[in-house]
Amino acid sequence: MSDSFNGDRVHLYLLKNGKVLESMHGNYDSYGRVFDSRGESMEWKMPWGEVCELMFNNSAGDGIALVLDSVHDSNDYPPTTQSQQCGSQGWGRITDGALHPNPHHIVFD
């Protein structure tokens, strides 16, 4: 997934009550975000403390859903539940670390 300097190409979705509030697309930074084109971690608009509360409040419809770029299908609806917790917390072997040509962050109304 990531070594904190590079990571797999992913789609991240920040969820609250099963609704996507924000999304990020790029190389995973191992801390629930992706790298921007300068290699810096993007920040969620929602304060990090609130993101963490969503991740650990025991509601499946709250938190971050991660979908690897290699299996992402833009015709699918976005996820409505957070990803299963990873025991290695996203650290591990990178399978698609090619730099994403256009990393981006979208905030939905």
Q: In this structure, which amino acid lies at residue 93?
A: R
Q: What pLDDT was estimated at residue 3? A: 63
15 neighbors 82 (Cβ within 8 angstroms) = yes
More confident position, 44 or 109: 44
Residues in the chain: 109
Cα gap 109→91, rounded to integer Å: 32
pLDDT in tens, 40-78: 999 999 999 999 999 899 899 999 998 888 877 777 778
Q: Determine the average pLDDT of the residues in 14-26.
A: 96
